[in-house]
Amino acid sequence: MNGTDINANQRLLPIAVAGRLLQRLRGINRLGFALLFLAPSLVIFGAFVFYPLVKALYLGFYETDPFGNQGDFVGIDQYRTVMTSEFFRHSLWVTFLFALYTVPPGILLGLALALLANQKLPGISIFRVMFSSTVATSVAVASLMWLTLLNPSVGLLNYFLVEAGQPRIDWLNDLDWALPAVSATTVWLNLGLAFIVILAGLQAIPEELYESARVEGASGWPLFWHVTLPMLSPTLFFVSVVGTILAFQSFGQIHILTRGGPVDATTVIVYSIWEDAFQRFDYGVASVQAVGLFLLVLGLTVVQIRFLERRVFYQ
């Protein structure tokens, strides 16, 4: 150790510190500049996505008095009682059934339509428009259409039943038929969407793959099983994940067609949240269910985002 080295270090130290400080300052500066671009989105997300999520969790810890005001702190108790309640389990079950009745049939039908419309025929575009036409119908439009078709006295569905020698069914007021009827409406409503996405997936399969498979003598079903389906599987996977998320969030068709009835036979989770929050003004119980819905969808969205990261269209 000699004195000059220490002196040199001592002289350099402030410069090194200043340099690092400057770098940090520049970083903060750059962050500040970037935040100008991000601020509009961040403000909206903060106010209407992140804050309400925390608030929902928080509301779940409080009881609500009969006038809709925040009542006593009950902690985790409210979560426990609601999540283990018969009613919550029932609405989860209905939601699950609803997803089961809408997602797999929707994908199968969408796939069938897409395969039909993927033929090279003159005038095929007319059929493509027909198959995708339900995209033009909103949930209210589709629900009113089906409300008429399902009407017990003048609806066409019952007309067909009577013609076939069967007894009439009061579709939307029947304990066994209400959920399937709402599901059928939903499948039809989402059919255009499923068709469009699956058809785009089909068209993205390179023609050479089919050609080389045909050279090897494949055609018909084997061609479908060994070329089309594997190539289409990412699209089908995406459609099923997004479809399930959408099914879990369904509300409009139930609000219009059945009001959750008969006897809660169609009370899916979002309908139950709405009823508790805005008919009974029990924000606490509604919030617990909302947190339940969040957890339910969370896993599925993680899968969806993973998927988005891996394969994204560049225009």
Interface positions, 43-82, toward other proteins (CB under 8 A): 43-45, 47-53, 55-56, 59
Backbone torsion region of residue 165, taken as left when φ is above 0, otherwise alpha when ψ lies between -120 and 50, otherwise beta: left
Apex CA 97: angle with CA 92 and CA 99, to 5°? Answer: 95
Binders of other proteins in range 190-229 (CB under 8 A): 191, 193, 196-197, 200-201, 204
Q: Is residue 287 part of the contact set for other proteins (CB under 8 A)?
A: yes
Contact 258, 252 (CB under 8 A): no
* Residue choice 141, 175, 229, 263 for contact with other proteins (CB under 8 A): 141
In this structure, what token pair is assigned to residue 269? Answer: 């989770």
Q: Smallest gap, in angstroms, from Cβ of residue 11 to other proteins?
A: 30
User: Cα(239)–Cα(233) distance, rounded to whole angstroms?
Assistant: 10
- Output 7 or 70, the one with its CB closest to other proteins: 70
Q: Is residue 314 part of the contact set for other proteins (CB under 8 A)?
A: yes
- Output 179 or 191, the one with its CB closest to other proteins: 191
Q: Is the dihedral of CA 46, 50, 56, 61 positive or negative?
A: negative
User: Cα(257)–Cα(107) distance, rounded to whole angstroms?
Assistant: 23
Binders of other proteins in range 264-283 (CB under 8 A): 270, 273-274, 277-278, 283
Q: Smallest gap, in angstroms, from Cβ of residue 2 to other proteins?
A: 40
Q: What x-and-dash track marks residues 232-261 binding other proteins by CB under 8 A?
A: --xx--xx-----x--xx-xx--xxx----
User: Cα(190)–Cα(102) distance, rounded to whole angstroms?
Assistant: 9
Q: Smallest gap, in angstroms, from Cβ of residue 77 to other proteins?
A: 19
Residue 311: its H or E element: none
Q: Smallest gap, in angstroms, from Cβ of residue 217 to other proteins?
A: 20
